[in-house]
Structure 1
Amino acid sequence: MSDSRKGRKPLVAERRYASQRTKAVPKKTTSKKTKAPKRKASPRKAPSRNIFVRLFRWILRLIWIITWRVTAVACVGLALIVGYYWTTLPDVTALLDGRARGSVTLMDREDTVYAWRGDQFGGAVRAETVSPALKNAVVATEDKRFFRHFGLSPRGIASAVRINLNEGRGPLSGHGGSTITQQTAKLLCLGDEYVASEWKNEAAYVADCRRGSLQRKAKEAVYAMAMEAKYSKNEILSIYLNRAYMGGGAYGAEAAAQRYFGKSASAVSPAEGAMIAGLLTAPSRLAPTSDLERSQSRAATVLRLMGEQDYLSSAEVAQWQQNPATLSTAARRKAGGYFADWVMSTGPEFFTRNTTEDVIIRTTLDQRLQRAAEEALDEVFKTKVREGSKAQAAIVVMSADGAVRAMVGGRESRVSGVFNRAIQAERQTGSAFKPFVYAAALELGYSPLDTVDDAPLTLDIPGSGPWSPRNYTNNYKGRVTLVEALKDSLNIPAVKVSESVGRDLVRRVATDFGIDGDMADGPALALGASESTLLDMTGAYAGILNGGSSVTPYGLVDLRLKGDQEPLMGTGGGIRERVINDKAAGELIWMMEKVVSEGTGGRAQFGGREIAGKTGTTQAARDAWFIGFTADYVAGVWMGYDDNTPLSGVTGGGLPAEIWRETMVRVHEGVPVKPLPMIAPIVVAAPEPAPAPAPQQQAPAPQPQPQQREVPRTTEGLIEMLVREVLGGGRDR
């Protein structure tokens, strides 16, 4: 039996593998390599991942689109704002002097500057013309990247914010990280000019310019960039060097250099430049006129910074730190003190305190005499006044024509803007007033040798009752001459002479000599119950020295605008009308000379010079005076307490006379000795005795001849009749 399946191919197997064989045989007609099929993602994960990626990419694209568009808009807006400010910025020369007020420069009698007032501006300077040391010091201190940034310093701002936060302040409080350009923008008040009608005062305007709000900072940054676009770096620095306040009333580098060192900003040394640059941080506190040691310490720091930034070598830094800058002589005067304040008060306000111009005032000040007065006061208080005493004193020195040469208004002499006791304190004059009582008598024809009775006196004053003036010693000398009454400062004779010649005449003579203020109405007028200032009293004594003509004390010689040759005004003082005649003035000087050579003013003597003067001590010793003169100068000294506390053991012939002497000794150094213009009274000699009569005749009894003419009895009677109304009084010397 044959097998019918032999030779047949399995049907199933053939079909199963045929397709595989067919696929396995490559086609010869193609040469391309077949790519491996991509692996398909899981049908569950692919859709969610794609959505996340697409969303993330869309957000990034959106952020990018918004960012660049916003940035573009911001840049365009910033450019427009910067461009606007650019168009508002004037030429650089119009920005160099930004003061709202002018300055006053005061010069002494030798035409040497000794004081400044107002906003001092020494003149415009350029960054290219100032001393390189000054320019480098400012850059090293204020903005070391100044020549590399575009007006803002991101690094500086970030550093300032970090420091402020670390010190517990707000990010914009304290350190600002401002560049010199930003500081200059602030000095320009961001272009907002001062309009008086819109502000309470200039200080309010300046305070608004210095505000540190975020809005203000943003505007400041924009304005700074506009300045960088408009001006060169040196022009920006020039504006800054001219407008920055540098203490002591000085605005700008030139004013500071003149104010502190008496030289131009182009000539300052590295030490001086460092001191000026150091002021920019805190000009009032660091000003060398306020605290020289502190200012020098700050300058040493600036010098170190200059060394670190290669502006100075290490050797130069060490050299200038060891030789710090010092003040000029004028700067050491502390702005002229009391004298400068007085002169400013005597001129018109629109040219002194409220000036918008730069004014030059020539004055009568003699700086040698000013130092003499200050040194004398210091010497007496150091050596003869108990430590811790609050007593005050004032001194005025003037020429016979009323030109004031020196003035000290208190024990603190190197100050300004404080209470000036020489011109502001009205105090009772005491016996320093008595020369005007005797001046009235001499003008009427009395002689210094006329006599008056120094005896107890009681006057019945209607409405006040009896008044009994007493002498300082409580002793009475009987009949004395007028010169004796003055030299010993006797009160009873002064009252009697005043009543004899008439109080109205005494009052008129004193007023005509320049003693202002209300005069006492009663007989106490003769004892100095009225009040006056030291300046007026000294001026009145100057009238006696010059021969009896009144003077108006003055310190202002002339006033002119800076740059002008012709003065706008001259002095308002000097010799005025005659008050008493030459003879009366000469005899009064003779009487007052006896006060110093023989009487209560003996401590004022010095150098063998002829000196005339008068002491004065008010009731309860609340005020002590000595006013006197030589042939060359008149000087007045007052001493007392500001609150009227009585002085302890002080009279006018004591410490005030010693202060006067110490002052005048220094004042007269190198001054030739001259005699006083005094006139001694004529002494009528007793006539020769008559020859003896003949024996047969009886000789008449001899009549005694007085050596001095007495005040007529009618005068004594007149005194008794005139004495009626008296207002207060007391013992005085």
Structure 2
Amino acid sequence: MSSKKSKTATAKPVRRPLLIRVFGGLFRLIRTILFRLIGWGIVVAAAVVLYFYLQLPDAKELLDGRESGSVAMVDRHGDIFAWRGEQGGVVGSAQMSEDLRNAVVATEDKRFYWHMGISPRGILGAIRINLSEGRSALSGHGGSTITQQVAKLVFLSEESTWRRKVLEIPYALAMELAYTKEEILSIYMNRAYLGASATGFEAAAQRYFGISAREVDVQQAAMLAGLLTAPSRYAPTRDLGRAQNRSQVILRLMHEQGYIDDTVFAQARANPAELSESARRRAGGYFADWVMEAGPEFLIEGTREDVEISTTFDPAIQEAAEQALFSVFDDLVREGSEAQAAIVVLSADGAVRGMVGGRAIGGAGTFNRATQALRQPGSAFKPFVYAAAVESGMHPTDYLNDAPLTINIPGSGPWSPQNYGRSYRGPMPMYEALARSTNTIAVRVSEEVGRAEVIEVAHDLGLDSDLTNSPALALGASETTLLDLTGAYASILNQGFRAEPYGLTEVRLRHGGELLLSEEPSLGKRAISEQTAGYVTWMMNQVVEAPYGTGRRAALGDRPVAGKTGTTDAARDAWFIGFSGDYVVGVWMGYDDNTPLTGVTGGGLPAEIWRRTMLGVHEGMPVSALPMLVPNTPSYQDNIATAGNDVVRRIEDAAQDVDDGLSGIVEGLLRGLLGGN
């Protein structure tokens, strides 16, 4: 049997081109390095997340992030009228209105309940929008989830944009591991700033609607959620129409995401949320600021506790003052005028019931012209001059001469006060000099009584500012505030006892009601006698009631009042301060830059503002008597006779002086001629 050698076919190995082999090896190397980098990146990221996870406090500790507590101000009737400080109030998201929770999620993070703290789709979408609008990738829209926003609010508020964006991710992942979705949402809804000093949705619901976040309806929820984008811009207390328009956007988002049906959507759009009455009034802003400045700092600003301040504020009186000011400017002042005005209303004991610090025009800001502006009172200072005179023993019916007067002031030379009309009336009783606001007589009285005595009386009555010891003191050349001046007039109404203006009566903790401070109103020391106060009150009543009084425009018909006009040099300030038996009202008018008023004196527009304020303040009140002491004043004919007799007496005295002088001269000549001593 023969056998053949079999041939076995052997396939040659196929060699790949060198270039492909090089790139293939390079790709495998890069893939290996990349996978290892990703692996190490995951390990590092996990370590970072674990590190942050271990640092996170209990969720309850993060609910209230305010640096200071809130201050709720309560009026004399027990109703809240103003908030100051960082208003808060911790309420868990589960206890808040379901509509409110849905509105927040629909607005800020519709995938909140499904993601793990970050939303890559949201981040990429935000970058695309930013680049398309010409901004850098991380400027403008952030694409942040609610969890990332919590990280920013709580842990990263001080970081730069790039660093914060990088750190938000591990913080968010850590929080998703540490906290439940409800806890994260609770932190967010209690720490988000929502305008008007309100931090968190509980505070905002109270601030804008006067209810708890537990009670808000769909419309209110949409308005509150709409504040998250720009709280100052969309705050309903700033622009209700803008806030309502923004809420329409939120309602549409809630409808699109299935949180509300067609019927609810239509009803909510047709009936947007409205502010509560107290938020709509925004009453007492100047008053509230003044109380905050005057109150004890350690109780009001130096604590994170929420406190409640009981005050003397009366919203009805405040409205009467505001309406009086607005109506006078609308009716009697040219349109576009930038003149300012301020009003203070006090009870007889000094309790401040209302305060208007100025008109909201141009850049008026929050400068309080009732408490912060130092202005010259002009003739409104004169009651203190005459109070000092009566206190020293002079009588309201004493005659004084209205005639040219020149006083030599050391270092300044001669000074001659001028009357408003540049005319002189001769002798007149002191009460008429006050009613006519005669400058020469006021200066004569001040110089006769002594400026030091006038200054002491003014200080004792309540003018705490420095008073210049010069002849111009009597004409109100020293500066003071409207509040201090009005308080000093209240001391006259109080029959001579000093009445210190006050607005705070109690401070309590809002939660628990613990009393921290109580200030019982009490009259100060006696500044002038009851008789002096009674006489000065009657003299000021003549300013309004006498046919020659400069304050006739302030008369209130059957209700007796007393007051005094004041106009400074060049009419830079115009005042009317006065009182009834129940209330003291002070009015100032002028320009912030000291521009002279045109055609305005204290007896004009300020007296009209005062009159309209008083009419509103006293509406429905019975007439109260003024505590005035009426002197036994002679009749008009007797005044003329007395004045004539006084002139005759002065002529006779002068003649006697001349006669005595001539006799002395003759006697001297005779002695000289005769050689006598």
TM-score normalised by the chain length of structure 2: 0.90
Structure 1 residue 90: Cα displacement: 1.4
Q: How does 1:240-639 map to 2 (within 5 A)?
A: 240-334=188-282, 336-412=284-360, 418-571=366-519, 574-598=522-546, 599-639=549-589
4+ residue runs over 4 A deviation: 36-41, 51-61, 413-417, 704-711
Query: Matched residues in 1 for 2:25 and 2:300: separation?
Result: 73
Of 601-610 and 142-151, the range deviating more from structure 2: 601-610
Q: Which residue number in structure 2 is paired with residue 80 of structure 1?
A: 47
Shift of 1:496: 1.7
Partners of 1:80 and 1:467 lie apart in 2 by: 86
Which of 181, 196, 203 lines up with 2:147 in the alignment?
181
The alpha carbon displacement at 1:58 in A equals: 4.5
Residue 265 of structure 1 deviates from its aligned partner by 0.2
Find the aligned partners of 2:646 and 2:289 in 1 and give their Cα distance: 50
Q: Percent identity?
A: 58
Letter of the 2:128 partner, please give it: R
**Do 2:314 and 2:354's aligned partners in 1 also have CA atoms closer than 8 Å?**
yes
SS of the counterpart of 1:492?
helix
**Aligned amino acid, residue 623 of structure 1:** D
Is 2:117 the counterpart of 1:168?
no
Q: Deviations over 1:489-509 (max 9, x none)?
A: 111221222222222111110
2:4 is the counterpart of 1:47: no
CA distance in 1, matches of 2:645, 2:342: 41
Residue 356 (structure 1) shift = 3.4
Q: Distance in 1 between matches of 2:54 and 2:28?
A: 38
Amino acid at match of 1:135: R
Cα shift readout 1:656-705 (whole Å, capped 9, x = no counterpart): 000101111111111111111111113589xxxxxxxxxxxxxxxxxx99
Q: Cα RMSD over matched residues?
A: 2.9
Cα distance 1:490–1:148, how it changes in 2: closer, same or farther (>3 A)?
same
1:212 is matched with: 161
Deviations 1:402-438 (A, max 9, x none): 1111111111299996211111111111111111111
Residue 55 of structure 1 deviates from its aligned partner by 5.4
CA contact (8 A) 2:284 2:315 kept: no
- Deviation digits for residues 371-391 of structure 1 (CA, Å, limit 9, x no counterpart): 111111111111101112111
Q: Deviations over 1:605-659 (max 9, x none)?
A: 1242101000011111111110010111000001111111111111100000001
Q: Compared with structure 1, are the counterparts of its residues 92 and 524 closer, same or farther at alpha carbon in structure 2 (3 Å cutoff)?
A: same
- The equivalent residue for 1:133 is 99
Aligned length, in residue pairs = 646
Residue 111 (structure 1) aligns with? 78
Alignment CA distance shift 1:658-1:709 (3 Å)? farther
1:145 is aligned to 2:111: yes
Q: What SS class does the counterpart of residue 636 from structure 1 fall into? A: strand
Aligned match for 1:120, one of 83, 87, 92: 87
Question: 1:132-183: per-residue Cα shift (whole Å, max 9, x none)?
Answer: 1110000000000101111111111111111111111111111111000100
On the 8 A contact 2:491/2:499 being kept in 1, the answer is yes
- Shift of residue 269, structure 1, vs aligned partner: 1.1
Contact 2:382–2:475, Cα closer than 8 Å, also in 1: yes
**In 2, Cα distance between the equivalents of 1:37 and 1:139?**
76
1:673 aligned residue: 623
- Tell me the secondary structure at the aligned position of residue 380 of structure 1: helix
Q: Deviations over 1:509-563 (max 9, x none)?
A: 0111111222222222111112111101100000000111112111111223333
1:481 and 1:299 mapped to 2: Cα distance?
69
Instruction: Give the 3 Å change call, closer, same or farther, for CA 416–136 of structure 1 in structure 2.
Output: farther
Between Structure 1 and Structure 2, whose CA radius of gyration is higher? 1
| Offset, 1:47 | 2.4
Partner of 2:658: none
Task: Report the 3-state secondary structure (helix = DSSP H, G, I; strand = E; otherwise coil) of the residue aligned with 2:223.
Answer: helix
Work out the CA distance in 1 between the residues paired with 2:190 and 2:331.
Answer: 48
Please give the alpha-carbon distance, in whole angstroms, between the structure 2 residues aligned to 1:565 and 1:710. Answer: 70
Q: For 1:179-219, what per-residue CA distance to the aligned partner results, in whole angstroms no more than 9, with x for missing partners? A: 001001111124xxxxxxxxxxxxxxx4x24x320x43222
What is the SS of the residue equivalent to 1:266? coil
Amino acid at match of 1:610: P
- For 2:55, the aligned partner's letter is T
- TM superposition shift of 1:468: 2.1
How far apart, in 2, do the equivalents of 1:338 and 1:622 lie? 23
In the TM superposition, residue 226 of structure 1 has moved relative to its aligned partner by 0.6
Q: Measure, in 1, the Cα distance between the counterparts of 2:306 and 2:413.
A: 61
Contact 2:283 2:315 in 1 (8 A): no
Tell me the CA shift for residue 351 of structure 1: 3.0
User: For the Cα contact (< 8 Å) 2:402–2:424, is it kept in 1?
Assistant: yes
C-alpha contact 2:575 2:606 (8 A) present in aligned 1: yes
Task: For 2:227, give the aligned amino acid.
Answer: L
Q: 1:65 aligns with which of 9, 32, 41?
A: 32
Compared CA separation, residues 416 and 281, structure 1 to 2 (3 A) = farther
Corresponding position: 1:661 with 2:611: yes
CA–CA distance in structure 2, aligned partners of residues 589 and 495 of structure 1: 20
The separation in 2 between residues aligned to 1:464 and 1:612, in whole angstroms, is 37
Q: Quick one: structure 1 residues 104 and 613, their matched pair in 2 at CA, closer, same or farther if it must change by over 3 Å?
A: same
Aligned-partner Cα distance in 2 for 1:402–1:618 = 26
Deviation of 1:324 after TM superposition, in Å, equals: 1.0
SS at match of 1:187: helix
1:334, 1:416 within 8 Å by CA — same for their partners in 2?
no
Name the structure 2 match of 1:92: 59
Q: How many angstroms does 1:37 deviate by? A: 7.9
Deviations 1:414-472 (A, max 9, x none): 99962111111111111111111111122223222221122222233333333222221
Paired residue for 1:723? Answer: none
* CA distance in 1: counterparts of 2:161 and 2:152, whole angstroms: 10
Aligned position for 2:665: none
**Which runs of 5 or more structure 2 residues have no equivalent in the other structure?**
654-677
What amino acid is aligned across from residue 15 of structure 2 in structure 1? Answer: P
Q: Does the Cα contact within 8 Å between 1:365 and 1:405 map onto a contact in 2?
A: yes
Higher helix share: 2
What amino acid does structure 2 have at the position aligned with 1:282?
A
Which amino acid is the alignment partner of residue 71 of structure 1? I
Contact 1:514 1:552 in 2 (8 A): yes
> Residues 74-116 of structure 1, C-alpha deviation per residue, up to 9 Å, x if partnerless?
2222222212211111111111001122222222111211111
1:52 to partner: Cα distance = 6.4
**In 2: Cα distance, 1:643 partner to 1:161 partner:** 50
Describe the superposition over 1:242-301 as per-residue Cα deviations: whole angstroms up to 9, x where unpaired: 011111111101001011111100101111111111111111121112221111111110
User: What residue in structure 1 maps to residue 669 of structure 2?
Assistant: none
Conserved 8 A contact 1:517-1:532: yes
CA distance in 1, matches of 2:644, 2:544: 23
Task: Provide the C-alpha distance between the structure 1 equivalents of 2:177 and 2:27, rounded to a whole number of angstroms.
Answer: 36
For residue 641 of structure 1, the aligned residue among 583, 586, 591 is 591
Supply the AA of the counterpart residue of 1:114: F
Q: Deviations over 1:13-69 (max 9, x none)?
A: xxxxxx9xx98xxxxxxxxxx9x987956x9xx3245x6676566455444433433
- Find the aligned partners of 2:28 and 2:334 in 1 and give their Cα distance: 88
